[in-house]
Amino acid sequence: MIKTLWPALLFALVCGAAHASHQVFKDWEVACDNTRRCEAAGYEAEDAPAPVVVSLLREAGAAAPVKLRLMPYANDEVVAGSLTVQVGTAILRGLPAGTELPPEQVARLLPLLRDADAARIADGKREWILSLAGIKAALLRIDDVQGRLGTPTALVRPGTRPVDTVRAPVPVVPVVPVVRLLPVAAPRQDDRRLLPLILATLKNDGCEDPIDFDGGERDNEIHRLSASQVLLILQCTRGIYQSGFAVWIANDKPPYAPQPARLRDALGREQPLVLEAAFYNNELTSIGKRRGLGDCNVKASWGWTAAGFQLVEAYSSELCRAIPDGYLLRDYTATMVRPASR
């Protein structure tokens, strides 16, 4: 059996999800990406039986509206239809499930949620209890990142400070990176035979620590990057529900001179392993779970460019609240440009 690594440690090493722009406030979490787009997600209390998530999304800029969605789950899917929300003695009916609420419903609901401890959400057959513990701190975080504190646009502490002091969205050009993918190189018939030859030049078969084998084979892959370079995806850990891979770039002729791929996370830190790695059309993806239920995950992708691999997007979820496939919040985004088709 291939050497295993504690999944939580893998998550911390590979994902870099818990950082300054992604924070947890009791039953709520907030992620603000590199464009100042912020999203808060609130859930049921940790011991509640029925999963529910409420998403509050706001782009940067004084005129950006608040977008709010109510997503109660049943049988691992968001319920459909009309919802009734009770907050204290206030009752709001006819709110859509799973889609953005109309602006007038957001204007009525948000102040109620902000100043309460919990909200009851029902569809006539079932009921969910949304925890509001931490919502005020989460909204304050959004106001702070977007420069709204003390302005009429603030979610928690509005004031008379001019709205032109609200931070504008980060422009796509030149601040938000543009990742220009190189044309996809056609595979060659003998690429597979290069794999053992290059592996023979690597310590620990390309992994940080020695690998223990107990039957079975590693799920190693080799991909063509260019006329002279190949990509190696080497399995280094195997857990119950995910594996960790080291990624190398090498020449296709001796000396192979393999070098670890420089894969940076949303904070610019290099990642030693990639979870459930996949490479297709010059894009490398990673999808990881913190636990087998898959309700708190991380996802990232990097594009192969003339400057090596560049981060395209990063998403993560910090709270494990039985949401099927997790509810991912965006930590980083770039504009990816694929080469024109011939």
Identify the burial level of 206 via C-beta atoms within 10 angstroms of its C-beta, where 0-12 means exposed, 13-18 middle and 19 or more buried.
Answer: buried
Predicted pLDDT at 7: 41
Tokens 């898959």 belong to 294
Residue 116's closest CA among 127, 103, 94, 132? 132
Considering the entire predicted model, what is its pTM?
Answer: 0.90
Output phi, psi for 143, to 5 deg. Answer: -60, -40
Predicted pLDDT at 216: 65
Residue 73's closest CA among 55, 53, 92? 53
Dist CA 326 CA 41 (whole Å): 11
What residues does each domain of the chain span? Answer: 36-165, 178-337
The pLDDT mean for the chain works out to 91
CB contact at 8 A, 59 and 137: no
List the structure tokens of 90. 């206030």
Determine the straight-line distance between the first and last CA of the chain, rounded to whole angstroms. Answer: 45
pLDDT digits (tens, 9 = 90+) for 28-59: 999 999 999 999 999 999 989 899 999 999 99
Predicted pLDDT at 17: 38
pLDDT digits (tens, 9 = 90+) for 98-145: 999 999 999 999 999 999 999 999 999 999 999 999 999 999 999 999
Q: Residues 176, 149, 100, CA angle at the centre, nearest 5°?
A: 65
Dist CA 172 CA 168 (whole Å): 12
Residue 3 has pLDDT above 60, yes or no: no
Dist CA 91 CA 121 (whole Å): 10
pLDDT digits (tens, 9 = 90+) for 159-192: 999 999 899 887 654 568 899 999 999 999 999 9
Helix, strand, or coil (residue 295): coil
pLDDT digits (tens, 9 = 90+) for 139-168: 999 999 999 999 999 999 999 999 998 998
Residue 177's closest CA among 10, 4, 316, 333? 333
Amino acid, res. 326:
G
Helix, strand, or coil (residue 33): coil
7 Cα distance to chain centroid: 17
List the structure tokens of 304. 């192969």
Residue 112's closest CA among 96, 128, 137, 88? 88
Crossing angle for the helix pair 103-114 and 135-145, to the nearest 10 degrees:
120
Residue ranges of alpha helices (H) inside the chain are 7-15, 103-114, 135-145, 191-199
Bridge partner list, 284: 279, 302
pLDDT above 70: percentage of residues in the chain: 91
Residue 12 has pLDDT above 50, yes or no: no
